[in-house]
Amino acid sequence: MTDFLFPKLHKEGYRFLAIAAVITFILLLISNFFGIISFILTIWVYYFFRDPERFPINDENYLVSPADGVISQITETNGPIELGLEGKKYTRVSIFMNAFNCHVNRIPSSGKINKIFYKKGKYINASLDKASDENERNYVKMTNSKGDDLILVQIAGLIARRIVCEIKENDETVQGDRFGIIRFGSRVDLYFENYQLMVQQHQKTIGGETIIAKKK
């Protein structure tokens, strides 16, 4: 219950929370009305950067969701050209995170990080399909314990201005591990093959817990 009401704060949030708290204090000295509004916004900042514990299935036959949010699109597509995978076909599940979702990103399956590639881009609405090719984004390619390649793409959104990736190449990761955060509205794409899809479009997801696909 305590973790639900007062979840742990991600380290990226401390600076923003401190700034919001100082502004709230100053405004309360000037105006109760604006001070209360600022206090409400401070609470929102805290919950935006929340980093609650999650409990993955811990079964490598399944892929868990890399993010909280809503599945905005499911499609069969070529792999990212940035990783040299444009000749391979993947299932891509896109998860859109609004301003009220937890924005901490998680590893869908235990394995090894092979490549990380960051690309500058635009900041159009992350729910649009073209955001996969035009927005600022960070690619994470990994091989899981089953020998399957998985690709995670952190995509900045309309007001997102920083993608944080907390892993590096050759890291060994565990299903449900935190691997980054995207500030202020964004999307995460998960590419995979050889797995049977177990979700549908518009379904809500919980990062690290919702099962996205099952090994064929």
44 confidence band (pLDDT: 50, 70, 90): confident
| Rounded mean pLDDT, 125-143 | 86
Q: What is the mean pLDDT of residues 50-74?
A: 92
115-125 mean pLDDT: 89
Residue 1 has pLDDT above 70, yes or no: no
φ, ψ dihedrals at 3, nearest 5°: -65, -30
Residue 121 pLDDT: 86
The whole-number average pLDDT for the span 36-53 is 83
Return the pLDDT at 153: 96
Please pick, among 38, 65, 127, 186, the residue that the annotation labels catalytic. 186
* Range of weakest confidence among 62-66, 105-109, 120-124: 120-124
Residues constituting the chain: 216
Question: Active site includes 127?
Answer: no
Stretch 138-150: mean pLDDT, rounded? 95
pLDDT > 70 in the chain, percent: 94
Mean pLDDT along residues 97-114: 92
AA identity, residue 131? A
Q: At residue 41, does pLDDT exceed 70?
A: yes
pLDDT above 90 (res 88): yes
Fold classification of 62-215 (topology level): Glucose Permease (Domain IIA) (2.70.70)
Cα(207)–Cα(155) distance, integer angstroms: 16
Question: Per-domain residue ranges for the chain?
Answer: 2-48, 62-215
Identify the residue whose tokens are 């099952």.
214
Query: Looking at 64-68, 83-87, 91-95, 124-128, which range is the least confident one?
Result: 124-128
Checking if the pLDDT of 159 tops 70, the result is: no
Predicted local confidence at residue 214, as pLDDT: 97
pLDDT at 4: 56
What whole-number percentage of the chain has pLDDT above 90?
A: 54
What is the secondary structure of the chain as a DSSP string? -HHHHSPPBPGGGHHHHHHHHHHHHHHHHH-HHHHHHHHHHHHHHHHHTB---------TTEEE-SSSEEEEEEEEEEPPGGGT-TTSEEEEEEEEE-TTS--EEE-SSSEEEEEEEEE--B---TTSTTHHHHB-EEEEEEEETTS-EEEEEEEE-SS---EEE---TT-EE-TT-EEEEESSSEEEEEEESSEEE---TT-EE-TTTSEEEEE-
Q: Record the pTM.
A: 0.86
